[in-house]
Amino acid sequence: MNHYFRRTSWTKSGKKPPKDFIKINFDATVGENIIGYGTVIRDEEGFVLGGGGGFKEGRLSVEEAECMAFEESIKVARRLNIKEHVLFETNHVGLVNRLNNVVNDVTIIGARIKECTAAFSFFKSASLIWTERPCNNLAHLICKKMYSEAKNCLFEMDYPPEIHDA
């Protein structure tokens, strides 16, 4: 089923991005020996342009998993050839704080965040911002699905019906 002409409601999923911006929400779920991650990409009107998610076996902290979800969301945007002004949104405030202090962060996660900010050069402009948990529901839905089904996916405008139903 093609969902091209459907859009998600910004009232359910947070504030609209500024005109000519793309919003990229991402999230991660951590379990005993597996993590799931998910990304959804929408335009300023709420139209889903694409997204994806996956899972990885192993143990990670929540912060490491959220960092990995950030890295994966950049990869998804690049695979879908998104080059516009983008806002990456996460409900993990620690990740946003680390990015804002990346100059002084000498940890492994700090190095990974520096690589993410270097990848921002692919876009016209990019930033990472914090959003409340309810505003990240679609990305969370995808990462829970990837986690529970132990699978990977990438989709464009013809997205899974669960996303529209959410």
The DSSP secondary-structure symbol of 44 reads: T
Q: CA 28, CA 157: separation in Å to the nearest integer?
A: 22
Question: From the CB of residue 154, how many other CB atoms can be counted at a distance below 10 Å?
Answer: 14
Kindly report the average pLDDT of the chain as a whole number.
85
The DSSP secondary-structure symbol of 103 reads: G
Q: CA 104, CA 53: separation in Å to the nearest integer?
A: 31
Contacts of residue 120, Cβ cutoff 8 Å, sequence gap at least 6:
126, 127
Task: Indicate the domain borders of the chain.
Answer: 21-159
Least confident of 43-47, 134-138, 158-162: 158-162
Q: Please check the confidence at residue 158 and state whether its pLDDT lies above 80.
A: no
* Rg of the chain on CA atoms, in Å: 15
Residue 66 structure tokens: 């959220």
What is the reported pLDDT for 5?
Answer: 36
For 21-159, give the CATH class.
alpha beta
Using an 8 Å Cβ cutoff, are 91 and 136 in contact?
yes
What is the reported pLDDT for 14?
Answer: 64
Tens of pLDDT, residue by residue over 52-111, are 999 999 999 999 999 999 999 999 999 999 999 999 999 999 888 888 887 778 888 889
